[in-house]
Copies of this chain bind each other. A is one copy, B any other.
Amino acid sequence: MKEKRKNTNTEEKILAAAKKVFIAKGMAGARMQDIADEMGMNKALLHYYFKTKEQLFEVIFKETIGKFIPKLKALLIADISLEDKIKFFCNEYIQMAQDNPYLPLFILNELNKQPAQFIDKIFSGELPDLNKFTFQLEQEIKAKRIKPISPVQLLMNMMSMCIFPFIAKPMFNAVLGLDELQFRLTMEQRKKDIPKFILDSIKK
């Protein structure tokens, strides 16, 4: 009983420390020693609970991405207006990146290394359903409420504007002369600015 309790407790501490380190340094950059230091215990223990570094990472990754993807899938088929969909989408996307700054670049790297397998993994074998979104868009266009635009171009624009700044953050900070705080505020602002930018462009 006592062992079980301790076990669980330590396991959680490891996961918390590992998440912090993995997010800060990425899978390749993270050292098992860093994780041990972060939790104030020793390396060997990590291997006792999670056989390999790979395995430990896998657990963290699945937990982080596992919550986010279903949310996005659900949003695409939700029963709300196109305008709200765009607003919620940008908000969720940017918030996720703010909470997990290292994740986007990591995902893109894995994606490019093993496209098919990786897509299968993150979407759990079921790609998001775009029919509803496409249909909504077509309806708005037919009703002359928005200008003609393909769902492909619209989705590309929306996702790009939300995520790319996080990946290229050091460059933006340097070129645009932002510090950490200003960057954070800029991205906070973009939760509203991107939907507005998009809607200003497509609305008639």
Q: Is the interface of A mostly helix, strand, loop or mixed?
A: helix
Knowing A193-B153, A200-B147, A201-B200, say if A171 contacts B119 (CB, 8 Å). yes
A9 interface residue, CB < 8 Å from B?
Answer: no
Please determine whether B28 and A168 come into contact, CB atoms closer than 8 angstroms: no
Which bucket holds chain A's interface residue count? 35 or more
Q: Which residues of B contact A201 (CB under 8 A)?
A: 197-198, 200-201
Please determine whether A127 and B165 come into contact, CB atoms closer than 8 angstroms: no
Residues of A at the B interface (CB closer than 8 Å) are 28-29, 105, 108-109, 111-113, 115-116, 118-119, 123, 127-128, 130, 147, 149, 151-153, 155-157, 159-161, 163-165, 167-176, 178, 186, 189-190, 193-194, 197-198, 200-202
Please determine whether B156 and A172 come into contact, CB atoms closer than 8 angstroms: yes
Please determine whether B168 and A108 come into contact, CB atoms closer than 8 angstroms: yes
Q: Which residues of B contact A170 (CB under 8 A)?
A: 111-112, 115-116, 118-119
Please determine whether A186 and B109 come into contact, CB atoms closer than 8 angstroms: no
Please determine whether B168 and A111 come into contact, CB atoms closer than 8 angstroms: yes
The answer for the CA separation of A156 and B172 in the assembled complex, in Å, is 8
Please determine whether B200 and A29 come into contact, CB atoms closer than 8 angstroms: no
> A160 contacts which of B29, B128, B164 (Cβ < 8 Å)?
B164
Please determine whether B152 and A176 come into contact, CB atoms closer than 8 angstroms: yes
| Given A127-B175, A130-B175, A156-B190, 8 new contacts (CB under 8 A) | A28-B29, A105-B108, A115-B173, A156-B176, A157-B197, A159-B164, A160-B168, A161-B161
